[in-house]
Amino acid sequence: MKLTIIGTGYVGLVTGTCFAEVGHQVICVDNNEEKVKLLKSGGMPIYEPGLEELVKKNVEAGRLKFTSSTKEGVEESDVIFIAVPTPPQPDGSVDLSFIEGVSREIAAAMTSYKIVVDKSTVPVKTGEKVSETIKRYCKAKVDFDVVSNPEFLREGFAVDDFMKPDRVVIGVLSQRPVAAMREVYEPYNAPIIFTDINSAELIKHAANSFLALKISYINAVSVICEASGANVQEVANGMGMDIRIGRRFLDASLGFGGSCFPKDLSAFIQISEQLGYDFRLLKEVQRINSEQMDRFVKKITETLWVLKGKKIGVLGLAFKQNTDDVRMSPAIDLCLRLQKEGATLRVHDPKAMEKARSVLENVTYVDDMNEVAEGCDALIVATEWPQFKKLDLERVRKSLTHPIMFDGRNLFDAKEMEQLGFIYKSIGR
Ligand code: UGA
C-alpha cells in the first residue's frame, strides 16, 4: 500500500520504517528541513536500537523516502498517518496545535478520497475535531475518513514492539476505511481490535495511565518493604506470577519519566475533569511518583549529610535504558537537584550524553562508565542500562573516596555489593 507518515519523531520514524519493512511504499514527511536532509543523507535524528539499519535497508530497497512537502505526501498516498507531537501545556492539558495544523495541510492538499489516521496520543474526541477541520479547509470537497490508531511502542524497544504488537487498535466511524486498515496491518499477524474513535483514543490514555499506576503501586510497596525489612523484588516476583497481575512494569525505581507517562497522566486527569470526573486515583499516582524521587534524594542527603562541596558520580541520564531520550528524565531531574544542593557531578550515559548537554550544564561528561566514580564521594545508578551490570566494581570501589553506591534501579545484588565492600543503598530492599 502507499502510506504517508507526517512527523518523523520516535513514533513517526519507527512507524514509517516498520511499514516499509513489511512491503508498503512509505513517504515520511517532516516540516523540519534539516531533519529531512539528515535522513536523506543516511543520518539518524534519534537513537533507537535496530532502527538505523532498517531505515537504510528500506531506503535502498526504494520503499522508504523522506520529504518536507505535506502536499507530496498527501498526493502520493491513500492512507495518511499523523504522528506529530502533542506536548503538554503548563496546566497539564494537551497542546493540539500541531494536530490542527497538519489536519489543515492535509485538507488543503487532498484531491481524492483519503484515510487520515491519527497515531499521536490525543484526548478523547480529537478525531471529531480533526474531521471538522478537514471538512472546513478542504477546498476540493472530496470524501475522507478519519481513523484513530494509537501507538503502544516503547522507546528503546520500538522496532520490536512495532513489528510484534500485542494488539492493534483501530477506531473508525464507518466501515469504509476498515478493509484498507486491515491490509496495512495484516503482515504483522497481530490481533486487530476495531472500535469507535472515542474508545480507541481512550484506550491509549487509559493504558498508559494504568501502566504508570502499576509502577507507582510497586513504588509505594517499596516504601513498606524498606520499613519492614522485606525485599520489593521478591514481592514483585511473587505478585507477578499471578497472571492476572503479571510481572512486567513492577520494577521499583526512583520514579517513572519520559515524554509519555507524566504527560499522559496529566492529560487524562484534565480530560476526566472536563468530562465531570475527579480522577483522584491518578493524582495519587503522580504524588507517589514525585515522592519517590524526594525519598531517593533524602536517602542520599541522609548518608552524605551536606552535599555542598561533595563530588558525586551519576550513571545514566536517559529516562530509561536503550534510548538517548532525556525528556522528563528522572536521572536529569536528580542531577539538577543534587547540583542545586551544591554537589559537583561526573556523569555518564551510553547514548544520551549529547542530548543531555543542553539540559545539564556544568557537569563533567565521562566517556567510560568505569571512570565516572573517580574521586567521588558516592556513585548513583539512575538509569537501568544493562551494561552497568558489567561495571568493574572492584575498580569503581577503589576509585571512590568512600565506597557508597545509591542504586535507583535495583541493578545490583545487595548482598554481593556489601561483600565487595560497598555501602549499598537501593529501592525497597
Ligand atoms: C510508554 C508505554 O510503555 C508505551 O506502551 C507507549 O506507547 C509510550 O509510553 C507512548 O505513549 O508513546 P515509554 O515512555 O517509551 O513507553 O517507556 P516505558 O518503558 O513505558 O517506561 C516509562 C518510564 O517508566 C521510564 O522512566 C521507566 O524507567 C519507568 N519504569 C518502567 C519503571 O520505573 N518501572 C517499571 O517497571 C517500568
Domain 2-190 has CATH 1.10.1470.10: no
- For 144-172, what is each residue's pLDDT tens digit? 999 999 999 999 999 999 999 999 999 99
- For 332-390, what is each residue's pLDDT tens digit? 999 999 999 999 999 999 999 999 999 999 999 999 999 999 999 999 999 999 999 99
pTM of this structure: 0.96
Q: Determine phi and psi for 236, rounding to 5 degrees.
A: -65, -40
Confidence check: pLDDT of 141 > 90: no
Per DSSP, 280 falls in state H
- For 3-50, what is each residue's pLDDT tens digit? 999 999 999 999 999 999 999 999 999 999 999 999 999 999 999 999
**Which of 46, 210, 216, 253 for a ligand 1 pocket mutation test, highest count of atoms within 8 Å of Cβ?**
253
**Which of 119, 164, 256 for a ligand 1 pocket mutation test, highest count of atoms within 8 Å of Cβ?**
256
Whether residue 138 lies in the annotated active site: no
Confidence check: pLDDT of 228 > 90: yes
Q: Where do the domains of the chain lie? A: 2-190, 210-425
Measured in Å, residue 261 CA sits from the centre of ligand 1 at 7
Cβ-based neighbours of 169, under 8 Å, separated by 6 or more:
148, 149, 150, 152, 193, 195, 200, 203, 204
Question: What is the pLDDT confidence band of residue 418, given thresholds at 50, 70 and 90?
Answer: very high
Fold of the domain spanning 210-425:
Rossmann fold (3.40.50)
Q: How far is CA 168 from the centre of its chain?
A: 18
Contact 317, 353 (CB under 8 A): yes
Confidence check: pLDDT of 140 > 90: no
Please indicate whether the domains covering 2-190 and 210-425 agree at the CATH topology level. Answer: yes
- In 3D space, the residue among 152, 160, 140, 163 whose CA is nearest the CA of residue 208 turns out to be 152
